Structure 1
Amino acid sequence: MERLRPVWAEVDLGALKRNYARIQSYTKAELMPIVKADAYGHGAIPVVRALKALGAKRFGVALLEEALEIKREFPELELMVIGASPEEHSDTIVRENIIPGIFSFSQAQALAKSAGEQGKTARVHVKIDTGMGRIGYRPEEWEQILEIAKLPHLMVEGIYTHFATADHADLTFARKQLERFQEVIRKLERRGLKIPYKHAANSAAILHFPEAHFNLVRPGIILYGLPPSRHVGQDAGLEPVMSWKAKVTHVKTIGAGETVSYGRTFRAAYETRVATIPVGYADGLRRALSNCGEVLVRGQRSTIIGRVCMDQTMLEVTKIPGVQVGDVVTLLGQDGEERIDPTEMADWLSTINYEIVCDISKRVPREYVE
């Protein structure tokens, strides 16, 4: 499709596939790639298609809507909703053979009722809250899981938890969570409930908490080539999958004392060359990068000057010779010897790289390359 605006994100499916192979080398467990939030902004359908070609059969999402989108394209795949699924949509969940995470008896009852009416067996994974404090049964509520397992037309296929600090250097709390989870499993098994799938390991735990792998793991951010934190994954050999680019639309020279953008927060101290790119905070280039963020132009770093606008941003290019309309500007990615990745941009903003890639908006078209 013809690009209508010179702003785009390149998604390298070759890098994605290589990351998948590297992750597989860390564990003997089955991988369930997490493709929620449109595959962390990379595009769920192309990402799923690429990983399906490598043998992935089971994928995790956060929302029922995300599962249905993928099911329409790949009806044969196993889709699990790891977040909350509303009870009122139990008929749809059962009809589409989607696997929900559940954490209440009323959820289980609604699913069992729908399955009975449709002449099917609904598969569920029970969520245990071992310390994350979001959704899930508390460990002391384990006996309720036995009641769920007694419901007709229902199969407890899996049990899972989520770590709060697996991306920290200190795994003390993560180990406490793991022990709580294992204790719930032991109690259930002593009462005769054998659950086929057990999973706890997110990206960070896959890389440096092998005792938490069980027989299924949930790679998320590492699939997309980004480390889970500054403590984990820096040396895992991952390749960032997404780069983000725009083309210069205007270049001008302003005199000393002149100002740039809303609020006149940038004032030139000397005669300054200014390049404008047609990308702004509506695209996900955060306004907090005003007067401090950097981009790459002709292989050199250039500073954002003035406030980032909704649709346009200005750059200081005085010391970069020959900048002209049509030059490619790299907001994320490699240009010559220089690179800006989502982790560096996240550091400027005191946030995490997950937020950077997820925030690149839908109006930035994704272009897929190998």
Structure 2
Amino acid sequence: MSQRPTRILVDLDAIGHNLAAVRGRVGVPVMGIVKANAYGHGLVPVALHLQAQGIDQLGVAFLEEGIALRQAGVRVPILVLGGLFGPQLTGFLEHDLEITVSSIAKLRQVEAAAEALGRKAVVHLKVDTGMERIGVHSYSCRPFIEAAVASPWCTIKGVYSHLACADDPASPMTALQVERFAEACAHFERLGAPMPLRHLANSGGVLHFPETWLDLVRPGIALYGVQPDPASARPLALRPALSLVSQVVYFKVVRAGSPVSYGATWAPRRDTRVVTVPVGYGDGWPRALSSRGEVLVGGRRRPIAGRVCMDQFMVDIGQDSAFNEDEVVLVGRQGGEAIGVEAVAEAAGTIPYEILTGLNERIPRIYLGGGPTA
């Protein structure tokens, strides 16, 4: 057990609560997205908890994430969402992972690997409706769908696309993508083929656009109780699952005009008290929070003083007192105050996704709860 004073606390019961809230809203199966170390919450513990909560499916970005889950005992279906590399195909098939197929050329690679192993591949067809990332353009996807339907070595479980602007409820882009996706899916009917599972909704879709729910939804950040964007509506009572806490490691009085930290970019206007916290950008705490971010000390918001260092940063506590080993909350609640990931992201000039996924393995995770969904 790490004795480092900095730790991430992950409330598994909050994740279970959020899953139940999403299910109650959409009324269709849920694919829980656990890529990027489950958005910083811990890939394996979160996936095992979601499995215990009866999740329908999981989604990861890379083959290696899928293999790690299988080796940890995750048995539910797992879709690898990322782009496909031919040399990896044996790993997909040997670990019973579902494959994103995004072109006819990729389809042929999957067929060859499946035939060589003598086992069918389970695939989801990726249609590009506006992201210009991976997938066949919706306006030219008929030959792609025809080839997949005719494949003797592929079982088409799903067809999907990804929403580019669903975080913004006012964006007209989502309606356009829904229309394009419907036109693409109509090719299955024209070919007389069974309709696979259609999935389109990410967290923004779940929150804002019921027309995107279709046969399956893919919430990511919402499962962890975080809003995807400040403009997001709040139709669900989501509970943040992650707290980031540390402790005071040093206390000193800094005289007026005496600069603090690298570059001497900040100095107090009068004598003040400053504490040092043993967290830095080496842990994923953004350097962009230098002289901009806040933390909680003694139940009060206190500003970061000067530049965030690799392993530490300083906090101006004014004329208050603090002692070594006093708790410091970077994300979470202390007394009557709370700092959410959304506020941290805003101060850093980025998005909540980047804050969460940037918190690296140097910070130990402690898991709380994990019983039946409340």
Both structures adopt the same fold (TM-score exceeding 0.5): yes
1:314-345 superposed Cα distances (whole Å, 9 cap, x missing partner) = 1111232x310010100000001111111011
1:20 paired residue number: 19
2:348 paired residue number: 349
1:95-136 superposed Cα distances (whole Å, 9 cap, x missing partner) = 211111111122212221222222211111000001111110
More divergent stretch after superposition (184-193 vs 305-314): 184-193
1:146–1:193 CA contact under 8 A, matched in 2: no
Secondary structure of 1:76's aligned partner: coil
Secondary structure of 1:260's aligned partner: coil
- The CA deviation at 1:235 is 4.6
CA separation in 2, counterparts of 1:133 and 1:337?
45
2:332 paired residue number: 333
CA separation in 1, counterparts of 2:216 and 2:235?
23
Pair 1:362–1:54, CA change in 2 (3 A):
same
Larger RCO (CA under 8 A, 6+ residues apart): 2
Secondary structure of 1:5's aligned partner: coil
2:10–2:242 CA contact under 8 A, matched in 1: yes
Unaligned 5+ segments in structure 1 are none
2:177 paired residue number: 177
1:269-299 superposed Cα distances (whole Å, 9 cap, x missing partner) = 1111110111111111111111121100010
2:131 paired residue number: 132
Residue 77 of structure 2 corresponds to residue 78 of structure 1: yes
Secondary structure of 2:303's aligned partner: strand
1:197 paired residue number: 197
Residue 194 of structure 2 aligns with an amino acid whose one-letter code is K
1:7–1:365 CA contact under 8 A, matched in 2: yes
Equivalent residues in 2 for 1:267-306 (5 A)?
Answer: 267-306=267-306
Secondary structure of 2:205's aligned partner: helix
CA separation in 1, counterparts of 2:118 and 2:104?
21
Superposed CA RMSD: 1.3
More divergent stretch after superposition (278-287 vs 72-81): 72-81
2:228 paired residue number: 228
Secondary structure of 1:97's aligned partner: coil
Query: Percentage identity across aligned positions?
Result: 38
2:28 paired residue number: 29
Residue 212 of structure 2 aligns with an amino acid whose one-letter code is A
CA separation in 1, counterparts of 2:173 and 2:202?
15
- The CA deviation at 1:141 is 2.6
Secondary structure of 1:317's aligned partner: strand
CA separation in 1, counterparts of 2:275 and 2:17?
36
Secondary structure of 1:132's aligned partner: coil
1:244 paired residue number: 244
1:103–1:128 CA contact under 8 A, matched in 2: yes
CA separation in 2, counterparts of 1:319 and 1:222?
39
Residue 212 of structure 2 corresponds to residue 212 of structure 1: yes
CA separation in 1, counterparts of 2:145 and 2:235?
40
CA separation in 2, counterparts of 1:160 and 1:5?
43
Secondary structure of 1:22's aligned partner: helix
1:149-169 superposed Cα distances (whole Å, 9 cap, x missing partner) = 212221111100111111112
Q: How many aligned positions are there?
A: 368
- The CA deviation at 1:259 is 1.7
CA separation in 2, counterparts of 1:18 and 1:75?
20
Secondary structure of 1:89's aligned partner: helix
Secondary structure of 2:136's aligned partner: coil
Unaligned 5+ segments in structure 2 are 370-374
Question: After TM superposition, what 4+ stretches of structure 1 lie above 3 angstroms from structure 2?
Answer: none
Residue 260 of structure 2 corresponds to residue 260 of structure 1: yes
CA separation in 1, counterparts of 2:86 and 2:312?
44
Residue 252 of structure 1 aligns with an amino acid whose one-letter code is K
TM-score normalized by the length of structure 1: 0.97
CA separation in 2, counterparts of 1:311 and 1:221?
27
1:257–1:267 CA contact under 8 A, matched in 2: yes
CA separation in 1, counterparts of 2:263 and 2:31?
48
2:63 paired residue number: 64
Residue 180 of structure 2 aligns with an amino acid whose one-letter code is R
- The CA deviation at 1:75 is 4.9
Pair 1:116–1:174, CA change in 2 (3 A):
same
